[in-house]
Structure 1
Amino acid sequence: MSPAYTVRVAEDPADREACFAVRKEVLAARSEPGADPEIVDRVLRHLDVRSLR
């Protein structure tokens, strides 16, 4: 199954900074009541792949 979105590589510093800011917020949301840890982990994996390419 292919994703319903296109993954774009975060090449410039502003894109990477944005990815890290999103990652920080996602980690904070993980500890909120009702957060699904599996979904959070999946989002984090996508962010990590995107920022490391």
Structure 2
Amino acid sequence: MIAVMGVLAGNGGPTGIAEWANDKAEWLQSILDLPHGIPRGWPNRPCRLGAESTR
């Protein structure tokens, strides 16, 4: 959800979205259920979906 909102706000890549999310953290926490705050490292963390099937 944060990534979609960041793109709609005009940010074109993972770094821009992460910076936008950090700048808007208080607002994002007021409208989204983020009990642990804004996720850190999520734009650059590799996706591991389906990793088990490639082994």
TM-score range, shorter chain: 0.3 to 0.5
TM-score normalized with structure 2 length: 0.37
TM-score normalized with structure 1 length: 0.38
Q: By percentage of residues, which structure has more helix? A: 1
Q: Which entry has the higher C-alpha Rg, 1 or 2?
A: 2
Q: Which has the higher contact order (CA 8 A, sep 6+)?
A: 1
